[in-house]
């Protein structure tokens, strides 16, 4: 499907989905407003600026920081693989799976694994892949896609989930959340205890200590990293703190930004294989550090800042556009304002042109971002590239018709006589199109795009400037009417 058509169609579907609208309203009302309130009253108001500054410093020395991380993980018996592309990451993971005769993989929620597309590759190799985060598991059973970074199934209600579980898990229908959770707990426990490989993302690694840290409330990620023989962690190359002090700031911003939590139920630090100090650690630990287009972002000072993102999802919880259309319209693992910047940069600006144009540039995403990323500035930059083209990012000007239109507008608006003539023609044309409600409901050509979804008020019988001219002339003559 053309991504442009896909965006409009999926946005329309999102707006028409009452369950999604209810879920979005709840999540934005609670978490979006809550995060803004917290930032304005936090005890350590410098934390966001400090974290951003450290984050940018780490990014500017990423080659050194990642080399340190790899060295420290290897010291503890872990293996580190640097994947330049998604294909490299897939190839490596399949090889690890093959050498370890893996038949079942349990996953912890990870957007990077979705970006890379590892699930279909594992399944094609005959390996069962099971999502273990409850929301992701529901979405997987429904053969659907997640619609929010931390709340993957907000587009589904308890009735839909009850019907899904009755159908797929063979339980009696219930719409009681504790009973539904218990059904998933029982089904997934068997999977978690018998899987050969755990596949997770990485919230924030710590280079100095050689750990990856993973955050969860459910305990599924701890299970997936402890019980299987092999643990593979996918890490976007930017998801690393240089030392524990930087790590602490990022962790506390992450849990507050994501769900207003002081700290998540579980924050685990892992990075090695089983030994005396880690009696039930995995036999093998593999960290896959992934570029897949990020180094190009890193090289561009205009967009480098976006790599400071800690994927808390706070910008989704306040964005007025995301709050209406939901996550599916973004056609990417990354939705909301952060997705509107990252997805075009990773997958092609022209291909995902609608994303930056769909946002309002209201600035709310910048205000709520824990690391104060200026997403509106980057959205504007993407729009500029779409308007004028950009060699470095291989952007072709989006619409020649649009450019022609604006040139004609420029000609018309800079000539008083031509502008007045066009106004008269348009007024005459619209008069014949005005309906009983005093509005124009159908316009030809490009105007049809406007009237497809809303009415257009006709041009007034007298414009403001025409009335002004008349009033001004009368006042010159010593009269006000």
Partner 1 sequence: MSTYHDQSENEIHFLSTLRQAVAPGSDTPRDKRAYPEIFAYEDDRQLVEKIEQRNDLDQQGLASAFMDSADPQSLSVYTVKSLDEAADIIVNIARNRMPEFSNFRHIIQHAHDDIRELRLWERFSEDSITVHTTYREDAELREKTIASFIGITVADWGIADSATLVQCTRPGMPQSTSLVPSIHIGFIRKSRILANLSEAYAMMRRDSSLNSWCFISGPSKTADIEAHMVHGAHGPKEMHICILEDSKE
Restricting to residues 169-208, which ones interact with partner 1 according to CB under 8 A? 177-178, 180-182, 184-186, 188-189, 192-193, 207-208
Kindly report the number of other CB atoms within 10 A of residue 426's CB atom: 13
Q: Per CB under 8 A, does 60 bind partner 1? A: yes
Instruction: Using the rule CB under 8 A, give the single segment among 60-68, 315-323, 392-400, 457-465 that binds partner 1.
Output: 60-68
Contacts of residues 425-432 at CB distance under 8 Å and 24 or more positions apart, as own/partner, are: 426/459, 427/458, 427/459, 427/461, 430/458, 430/459, 431/458
Shortest distance, position 222 Cβ to partner 1, whole Å:
5
Tokens standing for 153?
């199934």
Examine residue 272 and tell whether it contacts partner 1 (CB under 8 A). Answer: yes
Q: Does 242 bind partner 1 (CB under 8 A)?
A: yes
Single residue of 13, 67, 171, 362 touching partner 1 by CB under 8 A: 67
Q: What is d(CA 229, CA 285) in angstroms, rounded to the nearest whole number?
A: 9
Q: If binding is defined by CB under 8 A, does position 364 make contact with partner 1?
A: no
| Smaller CB separation from partner 1, 71 or 466 | 71
133 binds partner 1, rule: CB under 8 A:
yes
CB of 408 to partner 1, least distance (A): 42
In the complex, least distance from residue 269 CB atom to partner 1, rounded to whole angstroms: 5
Beta strand ranges found along 141-248 (DSSP E): 197-200, 204-206, 211-216, 230-236, 240-241
Going from the C-alpha of 16 to that of each of 21, 44, 324, 325, the distances in angstroms are 8, 42, 9, 9
Question: How many residues of this chain bind partner 1 (CB under 8 A)?
Answer: 97
Q: Which of 113, 140, 203, 220 binds partner 1 (CB under 8 A)?
A: 220
Residue 230, interface with partner 1 (CB under 8 A)?
no
Identity of the residue, 140 or 353, whose beta carbon is nearer to partner 1 in the bound complex: 140
Number of neighbours of residue 447 by Cβ within 10 angstroms: 15
Which residues pair with residue 128 across a beta bridge? Answer: 104
Q: Cβ 24 to partner 1, closest distance in Å?
A: 12
Which are the contacts of 137, defined by CB distance < 8 A and separation ≥ 6? Answer: 130, 131, 184, 188
Q: Is 33 in the site for partner 1 (CB under 8 A)?
A: no
Q: How far is the CB of 164 from partner 1 (least distance, A)?
A: 11
Give the relative orientation of helices 375-388 and 336-347 as an angle to the nearest 10 degrees.
40
Instruction: Give the binding range for partner 1 (CB under 8 A) out of 22-30, 350-358, 370-378, 400-408.
Output: 22-30
Side-chain-side CA neighbours of residue 265 (13 Å): 7
Kindly state whether residue 92 participates in binding partner 1, applying the rule CB under 8 A.
yes
Nearest Cα to Cα of residue 289 among 105, 114, 102, 67 = 67
In the DSSP assignment, the letter for residue 275 is: B
Asked whether position 163 contacts partner 1 by CB under 8 A, the answer is no
Least distance (Å) from partner 1 to the CB of residue 41? Answer: 16
296 lies in the binding site for partner 1 (CB under 8 A): yes
Q: Does 129 bind partner 1 (CB under 8 A)?
A: no
Among 20, 51, 80, 342, interactor with partner 1 by CB under 8 A: 80
Q: Which is nearer to partner 1, 256 or 385 (CB)?
A: 256
Strand runs labelled E in 157-307: 197-200, 204-206, 211-216, 230-236, 240-241, 266-270, 284-290
Question: Tokens representing 56?
Answer: 């940018």
Any contact of residue 57 with partner 1 (CB under 8 A)? yes
Instruction: Tell the smallest beta-carbon distance from residue 30 to partner 1 (Å).
Output: 8
Q: Which of 3, 201, 236, 271 binds partner 1 (CB under 8 A)?
A: 271
Q: SS3 for 119?
A: helix
Q: Give residues with Cβ within 8 angstroms of 426, minimum separation 6.
A: 459
Asked whether position 370 contacts partner 1 by CB under 8 A, the answer is no
Which residues between 304 and 363 bind partner 1 (CB under 8 A)?
none
Residue 308's nearest CA partner among 332, 335, 333, 342 is 342
| Residue with tokens 């005769």, as numbered in its chain | 101
Under the binding rule (CB under 8 A), the answer on residue 295 touching partner 1 is yes
Mark 136-155 with x for binding to partner 1 (rule: CB under 8 A) and - for no binding. --x------------xxx--
């Amino acid at each position: 499907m053309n991504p442009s058509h896909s965006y409009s169609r999926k946005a329309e579907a999102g707006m028409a989905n009452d369950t999604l609208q209810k879920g979005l309203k709840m999540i934005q009302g609670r978490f979006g407003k809550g995060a803004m309130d917290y930032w304005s009253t936090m005890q350590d108001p410098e934390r966001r600026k400090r974290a951003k500054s450290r984050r940018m410093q780490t990014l500017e020395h990423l080659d050194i920081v990642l080399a340190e991380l790899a060295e420290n993980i290897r010291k503890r018996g872990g293996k580190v693989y640097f994947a330049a592309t998604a294909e490299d990451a897939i190839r490596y993971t399949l090889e690890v799976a093959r050498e370890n005769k893996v038949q079942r993989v349990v996953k912890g929620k990870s957007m990077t694994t979705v970006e890379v597309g590892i699930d279909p590759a594992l399944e094609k190799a005959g390996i069962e892949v099971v999502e273990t985060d409850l929301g992701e598991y529901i979405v997987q059973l429904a053969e659907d896609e997640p619609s929010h970074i931390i709340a993957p199934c907000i587009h589904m209600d308890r009735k839909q989930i009850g019907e899904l579980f009755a159908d797929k898990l063979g339980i009696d229908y219930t719409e009681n959340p504790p009973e539904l959770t218990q059904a998933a707990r029982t089904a997934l426990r068997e999977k978690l205890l018998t899987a050969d490989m755990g596949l997770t993302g990485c919230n924030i690694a710590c280079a100095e200590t050689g750990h990856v840290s993973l955050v969860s409330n459910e305990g599924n990620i701890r299970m997936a990293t402890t019980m299987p023989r092999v643990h593979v962690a996918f890490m976007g190359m930017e998801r690393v703190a240089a030392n524990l002090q930087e790590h602490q700031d990022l962790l506390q911003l992450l849990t507050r930004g994501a769900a207003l939590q002081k700290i998540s139920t579980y924050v685990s630090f892992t990075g090695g294989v089983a030994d005396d100090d880690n009696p039930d650690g995995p036999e093998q630990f593999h960290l896959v550090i992934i570029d897949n287009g990020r180094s190009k972002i890193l090289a561009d000072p205009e967009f480098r800042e976006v790599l400071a993102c800690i994927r808390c999802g706070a910008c989704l919880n306040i964005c007025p556009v995301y709050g209406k259309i939901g996550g599916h319209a973004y056609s990417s693992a990354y939705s909301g304002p952060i997705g509107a910047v990252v997805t075009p940069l990773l997958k092609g600006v022209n291909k995902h042109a609608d994303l930056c144009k769909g946002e309002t540039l209201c600035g709310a995403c910048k205000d709520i971002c824990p690391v104060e990323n200026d997403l509106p500035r980057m959205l504007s930059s993407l729009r500029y590239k779409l308007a004028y083209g950009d060699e470095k990012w291989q952007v072709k000007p989006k619409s020649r018709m649009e450019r022609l239109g604006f040139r004609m507008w420029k000609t018309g608006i800079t000539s008083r006589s031509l502008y007045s003539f066009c106004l008269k023609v348009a007024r005459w044309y619209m008069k014949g199109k005005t309906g009983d409600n005093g509005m124009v409901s159908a316009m030809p050509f490009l105007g049809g795009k406007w009237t497809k979804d809303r009415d257009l008020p006709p041009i007034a019988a007298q414009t403001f400037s025409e009335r002004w001219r008349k009033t001004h002339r009368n006042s010159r003559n010593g009269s006000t009417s």
